Amino acid sequence: MIVIMKQNATQDQVDHMIRRIRDLGLSPHIIQGTARVVIACVGDEHLKSPEQLAVGTGVDKVIPVLARYKIASREVKPEATVVPVGPGSLGGPRLGIIAGPCTVESRTMLLETAHAVKEAGAIGLRGGAFKPRTDPYAFQGLAEEGLGYLAEAREATGLAIVTEVVSSEQVPLVARYADVLQVGARNMQNFALLSAVGRTDRTILLKRGLSADFDEFLLAAEYILSQGNSRVILCERGIRTFEQYVRFTMPIASIPALKAATHLPVICDPSHAAGRADLVEPISRAAIAAGADGLIIEVHPDPENARIDGPQSLDLPAFARLVDSCRKVAEAVGRTL
């Protein structure tokens, strides 16, 4: 349910409703709109009726929220949420691109990539220090050494650092270095991890699970939001289908569908979807045309020799060309980049 307060409701009346909602065993999440306060009531609403709250003074109306994802829903918050990404942001009229290698391989390659993507117009530097690998014998990342290089690259360029956290135990360590904590596709339903990142004050980049449906994706975001962290960015990175000519299938329709269902920013990862460098730019252009708020792109100074995900990585000049070509599409749909 959401409790919509009257425009002239006093702080005392809002506080009273917050206590009433808690007494009913629900947890209140305050959304401060421009004109009025809205309180989302989260919890098991079974056996609770809107009338129990509608009688409160200062309450305009109480409406049930149909979506199971309450805090994430546009029904509760019609205006777009702008989420910080280091000194920049995602979710406003200006699009943002996060770029960098799949994994941090060395200090030199990371710094070279960071300077190049910054120069081309990126707002964030990606790079995994902890990699969730399907194969237990594959390279798992440089761990804390890699986080140190990422922090150094931020110092050198001012780019926001986006890096993956693969387990709840690692959250405090990764949060010490990163501006944005990435929850990867394989962890989208790791509920302990979602709750742990929800208790931090970092921005969270949540990737769609390879086999997760639309509601499961939004409910995963809701896990984070329900812990009090409102800085969530959704990332469509492609889903598993019968197709073999791409690594995953990019469901372009999910971008406008997500944007309609939630106020959170939605970005696209064309690199993991395609698995092939030649498809990265066209998918990026399609995603922006479809309303994406940004992109996350794998970029490597020498894709042929990349330790992970070389075939889908753009080299530095190709990334600069992608930014220029996406800028034109952004302008065509009334955004800037």
**Residue 100 touching ligand PEP (CB under 6 A):** no
Q: Which residue is nearest to Mn ion (CB)?
A: 102
What whole-number distance in Å separates Cα of residue 20 and Cα of residue 15? 9
Contact between 266 and Mn ion (CB under 5 A)? no
Nearer to ligand PEP, 102 or 123 (CB): 102
End-to-end CA distance of the chain: 37
Residues near 12 by beta carbon (within 8 Å), at least 6 away in sequence = none
| Phi, psi dihedral angles at 25 (to 5 degrees) | 85, 15
Q: Is 314 among the residues that bind Mn ion (CB under 5 A)?
A: no
29 binds, among Mn ion, ligand PEP, none (CB under 5 to 8 A by kind): none
Closest among 67, 51, 16, 66 to 37, alpha carbons compared? 16
247 makes contact with ligand PEP (CB under 6 A): no
Site string for ligand PEP, 206-225 (x = CB under 6 A): -x------------------
Give whichever of 222 and 309 is closer to Mn ion, judged by the CB atom. Answer: 309
**How many whole angstroms separate alpha carbon 315 and alpha carbon 311?**
10
State yes or no: residue 127 binds ligand PEP (CB under 6 A): no
Binding range to ligand PEP, per CB under 6 A, among 5-13, 147-155, 180-188, 315-323: 180-188
Q: Which helix (H) or strand (E) holds 2?
A: strand 2-5
Is residue 102 a contact point for Mn ion (CB under 5 A)? yes
Residues β-bridged to residue 95: none
Residue 18 within binding range of ligand PEP, rule CB under 6 A: no
Task: Name which of Mn ion, ligand PEP, none residue 185 binds, using a CB cut-off of 5 to 8 Å depending on partner kind.
Answer: ligand PEP
Closest to ligand PEP by CB, 73 vs 103, is: 103
- Based on the number of CB atoms within 10 Å of its own CB, is 70 exposed (0-12), middle (13-18) or buried (19 or more)? buried
Among 237, 259, 307, 335, binds ligand PEP (CB under 6 A): 237
DSSP labels, 132-154: --SSTTS----THHHHHHHHHHH
Question: Which residues of the shown chain bind Mn ion in the complex (CB under 5 A)?
Answer: 102, 309
